Amino acid sequence: MRAFQNEDRASLRPDHPSPLYHQLYALVKRKIEGGDLRQGALIPAEKDLAQFFGVSRITVKRALDDLESEGYLSRHRGRGTHVTYKYEPKVLRAPLDSMLDSLAVMGRETQVKLIDFARVAPPPYVVDGLRLLPDQWVDRALRVRSSDGLPFAHYTSWTVPIGPGLTQEALQSSSRLDLFRRLGVHLKDVDQVISAIAADTTLAQRLVVRAGDPLLQVTRISSDQRGRPIDYLVGVYRPDRFQYHMKLSASDVLVRGKR
């Protein structure tokens, strides 16, 4: 069950309007599209998933059947269930200064609420993305950003410990970009992927949408001035309140976030 965390188990709620099978379907789909369950990965057996999530095998079977019908999984008797989905995003190069300026402006013009901050063992895809040692822990922050009191973005970030200044108190009063600069960290490269996901119950609650609603997801791995990956961020946005605007030309690419 390495691909699934306790927070995933807690996100399935019997009292939610969305059926349990659909909640599980959305959760596993998000894991696949987010890279936590990669092409060829073996999905745990139905009985193991049922036991872990505290649901019936019928619920698990229906969720996996729907994922198989959409081409995310392949199920064979005796060989188990494997991920067949493969996402290969094209790399888009853009001037980093323009993107960071846009993020700084958004940080000043909107409000952010820190939900949780803790030092944790990161999930496998973060270990790979940040090139961490298997037993290395990172600082994880969960935040919700709002504009005029309305939530439009949910952030989960994992940051390599970079100094004593990155604390819960500091994150409640300063943006992460400002904190990085104060700690002497200057971002040199950002590897960014834009995709779409379906809202699970946790994201639905925090962004005030329905479970299963489409959301925009931006995954961003940032490296410092020495070229070391130090931060892995997954930002999820309500598409009715946020647009990611990219203007392309032969000589330059301008990236701008627009609320």
What pLDDT is recorded for position 18? 85
The reported pTM is 0.59
Domain ranges for the chain: 6-83, 96-258
What pLDDT is recorded for position 241? 74
Average pLDDT for 54-69: 94
Alpha-helical (H) ranges within the chain are 6-11, 20-33, 46-53, 57-69, 96-109, 124-130, 168-173, 176-182, 201-207
Q: Check residues 33 and 14 and name the one with the higher pLDDT.
A: 14
Least confident of 11-25, 55-69, 106-120, 140-154: 106-120
- The C-alpha atoms of residue 242 and residue 227 are separated, in whole angstroms, by 30
What pLDDT is recorded for position 98? 47
CATH topology of domain 96-258: Chorismate lyase (3.40.1410)
Average pLDDT for 4-21: 85
- The C-alpha atoms of residue 11 and residue 152 are separated, in whole angstroms, by 20
Decide if 146 contacts 152 (C-beta within 8 A).
yes
209 CB-contact burial (10 Å; exposed 0-12 / middle 13-18 / buried 19+) = middle
What pLDDT is recorded for position 101? 46
DSSP string, 13-82: -TTSSS-HHHHHHHHHHHHHHTTSS-TTPEEPPHHHHHHHHT--HHHHHHHHHHHHHTTSEEEETTTEEE
Per residue in 187-228, pLDDT (tens digit) is 888 888 888 898 999 998 898 888 888 998 989 999 988 889
Average pLDDT for 151-165: 87
Give domain 6-83's CATH architecture: Orthogonal Bundle (1.10)
Decide if 149 contacts 167 (C-beta within 8 A).
no
